[in-house]
Chains A and B, each alone.
Chain A
Amino acid sequence: MNTVRCDDFVEWVTDFLEGELPRETERQFVNHLAECDGCDRYLEQMRFTLQQLRTLPDVPLRHAVREQVLYAFRTRPRS
């Protein structure tokens, strides 16, 4: 087992995904990942969470608000 602790690993996840870990830390991160099932699963769950966030359904505008916005476009003063 290398010297990386799991409670450190979980604090590095965002920096890792952002490509912002210092090179040596990134190497330790990747090595730890290969030998720790818990952290491997943690990272996988973080990726799943991000994928779910990216595909959240929109919160659509009510029809009346949409109509008002389009009306404003139609009737706006023209330069």
Chain B
Amino acid sequence: MGVELPSDAEIVVRLRASDEKLFALLVDQWSGGMVRVALTYVPNREAAEDVVQETWLAVLSGLDGFAGRSSLRTWIHAILINKAKTLGIKESRTLPVADTAAPAVNPLAFQNSAEPHPGHWRQAPAAWPSPESKAEEGELVRHLDDAITELPPRQRQVLVLRDVQGFTAHEVSAAMDISLANQRVLLHRARSAVRARLATYLTPERGAAR
């Protein structure tokens, strides 16, 4: 993940002393991930970049108020999420959907009560081929991006914060203002859906049973 950064305390001191080089380094290392997070709230790249820009401006004016109770990166993402929520609500025309109900795997993949082993796989999930070229790796990334985009909003937000950005369960439940248990349910639905989506792409011959 790029150059190693100094400690949060040192970063804050140097930014207050106008170390522009260090500021540029932070912007370059963190903005790409921040655009990803913003995209889970707002409908397009341009709106997401606006959110990131506003966030950095808010970071500059709020830097003196950073108390070090969380990490600097977490604090910046909390600002980002607030800004993205505000803008996302303005731009969103979709109604909230129930996003915790579906099972992790299509029930057709399992034997029913009339079969010898109810609840067990009809057929084990097919092995996935590993990507063998840059082009195949690119395809995999494209399918992952599509899978993320298609998730219900809260699942998408939790998945990107946890599994793409690497924040902890506590950080995500605090930033999204949801319980740890709820955070885990959303994460489970999201991960299961993304795995199923990759299965559809990587083993298309298997139809419904994955």
List chain A positions with a Cβ less than 8 A from chain B. 1, 5-8, 10-11, 13-15, 18, 20, 36-39, 41-42, 45-46, 48-50, 52-54, 56-62, 65-66, 68-70, 72-74, 76, 78-79
Contact = CB atoms under 8 A, between A and B. Distances in A.
A53 B45 contact: no
A14 B191 contact: yes
A8 B23 CA distance: 48
Interface residues of B, number: 55
Nearest to A41: B125
Nearest to A66: B27
A1 B191 CA distance: 27
A42 to B, nearest CB: 5
Interface stretch (B67-75, B77-85, B91-99, B114-122): B114-122
A58 B125 contact: no
A10 B192 contact: yes
A8 B145 CA distance: 28
Interface string B158-190: 010001101001000000000000001001100
Given A5-B119, A18-B184, A73-B23, A60 B32 contact: yes
B127 interface: yes
Interface string B88-120: 000000000000000111010010000001111
A37 B166 contact: no
Nearest to B192: A10
Contact of B120 (A6, A14, A61, A70): A6
A11 B163 CA distance: 18
A56 B146 CA distance: 12
A33 to B, nearest CB: 13
A37 B194 CA distance: 21
B187 to A, nearest CB: 6
Given A38-B124, A68-B53, A69-B56, A7 B27 contact: no
Given A7-B119, A49-B195, 4 more contacts: A7-B105, A10-B192, A61-B31, A78-B18
Contacts of B124: 37-38, 41
B158 to A, nearest CB: 11
